[in-house]
Every structure is written in C-alpha cells, then in structure tokens.
Structure 1
C-alpha cells in the first residue's frame, strides 16, 4: 500500500458578484451546532447562514458585524 499527498483544493463557491468571502460574528455557542447539524446562525449584521468554514488569521470580516461588536459593552462578547 502506498500513500499519496493530495493537492490542496479550493472549495469556495463562486458568487454572482465580486464581493470577497467575509466572515461574520455569531454567538459562540451556536457555531459547533451549526457546523455539525447544519442549522442556521444569525450574525450580528442580520445575515443568516449555516457555518461551513472557519476563518484563518487575516480573513476579511464583515464591516457591519465588526462595528456592532466593537460598540457592545465589555463583557457581552462571551
């Protein structure tokens, strides 16, 4: 039996517009459930979607989510 390393594949889906994929702020306790069960989460900006991938350092973040998150009082991010 031999082993082979498969090349990295790009699994991004193309959209009809040229917006970059952005990551959104959602409730921490809903992320795992969504990723496993396929349930939908609601981002701070109101976007509704199932969690399908996790952000990498430097990934673009939704500006609306970021603005809302930064305006929350300290301690509300847990």
Structure 2
C-alpha cells in the first residue's frame, strides 16, 4: 500500500506552546494518489487512522507521525 505522511489541519493537532508556530503535532498516513488531488482541488483525504482533512503541506523527514496511523500501517505490512 502506498502511503505518504501529511499534516492534519485541525486545531486539536497543533501544539499550543504560546508561540505563533503553526507546526502540526502529528502528520498522518494517507493514500499517495490522493495527496496531489487534495492539495490542488482542496478535496479531503482519509488517513489510516480515520481522520478526514484537506492536504495543506507535506511532512519533513523526522516529523512526528500519528501513532494510530503508524500502528495501522505496521499491521498492513504484515
């Protein structure tokens, strides 16, 4: 299964550390073929954990990954 890590845009996923940094707390795994469509058209994607959101940015190497998405992905690899 092709997946890529992307940001969830809900306010719940943002770190509130008193700064104006809009870095998400977690990035999520979604189907790779849906990322470009969402980024261009504004459509929503569904993460492996079930979260639904539009793609607004890609994760950088080392970015924190949603633990639920990671668990589901690991189970799919078996």
Give the TM-score of the pair, scaled to structure 2. Answer: 0.68
Residue ranges of structure 1 left out of the alignment (5+ in a row):
1-12
Which 4+ runs in 1 deviate beyond 4 A?
A: 16-20
Name the one with the larger strand percent.
2
Residue ranges of structure 2 left out of the alignment (5+ in a row):
1-8, 17-23
For residue 50 of structure 2, what is the aligned residue in structure 1?
46
**Given the alignment of the two structures, is residue 59 of structure 1 paired with residue 68 of structure 2, yes or no?**
no
- State the alpha-carbon separation in 2 of the partners of residues 24 and 68 from structure 1: 11
Calculate the aligned-residue CA RMSD, in Å. 2.4
- State the alpha-carbon separation in 2 of the partners of residues 47 and 73 from structure 1: 20
Equivalent residues of 2:15, 2:25 under 8 A apart:
no
Larger radius of gyration: 1
